Chains A and B, each alone.
Chain A
Amino acid sequence: MAFEQPACRVCEFALVSRLFCFSCNALQPFPLEVDFFEVLGFPISFEIKSAELEERYQQLSLELHPDFYGSAPEAEKRLSETATAVLNTAYNTLREPTSRAGYLLHLLAQKQKLDERSLPDGFLGEMFFLQEALDELLESGNADELSGMRDEMRKRQKDIEADYAPLFKRLKDHPEDSEILQQLQTHLNAERYLRRLLGRIPA
């Protein structure tokens, strides 16, 4: 990994973010398939401190801001615009644990054939049952039961979320373990059904 550390095209200083050199303030041309961890300058890992991510994002979005490149050559101007767009996408993907887990799984599972629709046993039937129950609750307008259901579903979401870190940790020791990868996929799938259900419960 250390040998691949990209360097600034101007001052050859080792780059933290693939988009910008904090040493000489030069915008960096970046490859189309740049990964979002590289964009924000974090190692490819699920564990990211949200305060650090936030700070890095603020810093970069200020440095890359197209307003500062208004009188720059056309190519620089365009580079600042595309870099800003990529930065925003990267930040929005990594800041939230579920989408970060989904993105990281996508990066790590590229060579593996995962069952992309996997769910825990009986889960789909349960979701259908809960959706129907929710229909009835919405019709009767029982606020207590609705908030009870919301709390229950949020708790299940949190439980899934809490599993990401230990699963990715195990994956670090066994990078090719398709069982762990598949388990992550199942978690991510289940989370999306819970989210869909929660989306129907008024706040």
Chain B
Amino acid sequence: MAYSEKVIDHYSEPRNVGSFDKSAANVGTGLVGAPECGDVMKLQIQVDPETKEIVDAKFKTFGCGSAIASSSLATEWVKGKSIDEAMSIQNTEIVEELSLPPVKIHCSVLAEDAIKAAIADYKSRNED
């Protein structure tokens, strides 16, 4: 199976690899895994507390090329979005952008789950 050009691009030059201090109040951390293959993905967002806009995002993924590309793309997409907008990102959009084959769809699901988990974590720690 051949990876699409966009997958290879994100895989060989992943964007926003790294991490934030997960105990910081303006950070939300999502840690998810795919039992189908044992991939683990951590995606973090940094939120402006005034505007609720995601100002930065980081990820670290232990998994296949498609999982790395999906999470790399996810960090690019959430940046500059409000947390509500980011919440509506669908895995199907990731599948389309990266031309993922059916056997790799779960990688995009993982990335969507990671975004949602990061937002949920941020919200749970910033309830007024």
Contacts and interface: CB of A to CB of B under 8 A. Distances in A.
Contacts of A188: 35
B62 A196 contact: yes
Nearest to A200: B62
B42 A128 contact: yes
Contacts of B31: 124-125, 128
B65 interface: no
Main SS class of interface, B: strand
A116 to B, nearest CB: 7
A132 B60 CA distance: 9
Category for how many chain A residues contact B: 10 to 19
Contacts of A197: 38
B37 interface: yes
Given A124-B31, A125-B31, A132-B60, A192 B40 contact: no
Interface in B39-67: 39-40, 42, 60, 62-63
A128 B40 contact: yes
Contacts of A196: 37-39, 62-63
Interface in B95-121: none
Contact of B38 (A117, A125, A132, A195): A195
Contact of B33 (A116, A124, A195): A124
Contacts of B35: 116-117, 119, 188-189, 192-193
Interface string A104-142: 000000000000110100001101100110000000000
A192 B37 contact: yes
Interface string B62-89: 1100000000000000000000000000
Interface of A: 116-117, 119, 124-125, 127-128, 131-132, 188-189, 192-197, 200
